[in-house]
Amino acid sequence: MPVDFKTENHVAYITLNRPEAMNSLDPEAVTTLTEIWAEVKSNPDIRVSVFTGAGEKSFCTGTDMKKTPPPDECMASIWLRDGQPIIPPMKMWKPIICAINGYAIGGGLEMALACDMRIASSKAKFGLTEVKVASLAGLNGTQCLPRAIPQAVAMKMLLTGEMIDAEEALRVGLISDVVEPDELQGLAKKYAEKIASNAPLSVKAAKQAVVMGMDMPLDHGIAFSHLLWGVLRDTEDRKEGFKAFAEKRVPEYQGR
């Protein structure tokens, strides 16, 4: 399979598995990945995902241009089918951790930008190189990269097609952590399990408050956050959280 998928302790592990092709996306990988994201979104047992690539060389280098023929239908019909590109990003309130184990180029970086947390191997490299092949970072790159890092740095990457390494990505805030390659998956699992142990409705609300609030004036974002706080106030999990704190034990959250 071009994409491996498993779940464990409320965590979904999604691994692009075409290391011989730098984990680039062929049509089968695109279809499989789309189905996996739908499962992650709908499965109530999944609370957080870890998204990575097989091997140490590449997370994803975008579309496999050798195996992806031009579409049979015009681009307009594809775009207007559901108003967004077929490949993620997908707006879902369950957090996604991207463990970037090597090259994240083109669509690979755009998928990483759709994730909520990005951690990387010290060997990772990042780039939106589409201008070099007369194309454009059309999934989300022109919009999400300048929102993730300083605009001047984003423009430099988009206009020159130059890549940056993991240390520079950390410096400009594109990623939160850099570790040695053999430590990356362990760190991703650690973060995922920590998130999965928290109240799932609260985690979803926190992500929604940030994502939705970024498109609002500050006072509107704060009001929306207050609304979500009120929605969470009477949940069973909040009562369990307070009770567990008083009893000095680990809470058992049910997502309700």
For position 85, what pLDDT does the model report? 44
Active centre residues (catalytic): 110, 130
Task: List beta partners, residue 90.
Answer: none
**∠ at Cα 172 (170, 177), nearest 5°?**
20
CATH number of 200-246: 1.10.12.10
Q: How far apart are CA 19 and CA 73, in angstroms?
A: 30
| 200-246 has the same fold as 3-196 | no
Q: Which CATH class is domain 3-196?
A: alpha beta
For position 101, what pLDDT does the model report? 97
Per-residue burial over 152-191, b = 16 or more CB atoms within 10 Å of its CB, e = otherwise: ebbeebbeebebbebeebbebebbebbbebeebbebbbeb
- pLDDT averaged per 10 residues in sequence order, the chain, 256 residues: 95 96 91 90 95 96 72 52 49 93 96 96 97 90 96 97 98 98 98 97 96 94 96 95 94 94
For position 76, what pLDDT does the model report? 47
Q: Establish how many alpha carbons lie within 13 A of residue 25's alpha carbon, considering only the half-sphere containing its beta carbon.
A: 24
What does the H/E/C string look like for the chain?
CCEEEEEECCEEEEEECCHHHCCCECHHHHHHHHHHHHHHHHCCCCCEEEEEECCCCEEECCECCCCCCCCCCCHHHHHHHHCCCCCCCCCCCCCEEEEECCEEECHHHHHHHCCCEEEEECCCEEECCHHHHCCCCCCCHHHHHHHHCCHHHHHHHHHHCCCEEHHHHHHHCCCCEEECHHHHHHHHHHHHHHHHCCCHHHHHHHHHHHHHHCCCCHHHHHHHHHHHHHHHHCCHHHHHHHHHHHCCCCCCCCCC
Q: How far apart are CA 59 and CA 3, in angstroms?
A: 12
Global pTM reads 0.92
Nearest CA-CA partner of 153 in 169, 176, 130, 134:
169
For position 161, what pLDDT does the model report? 96
Q: Strands 3-8 and 11-16, how do they pair?
A: antiparallel
Q: So where are the chain's domains?
A: 3-196, 200-246
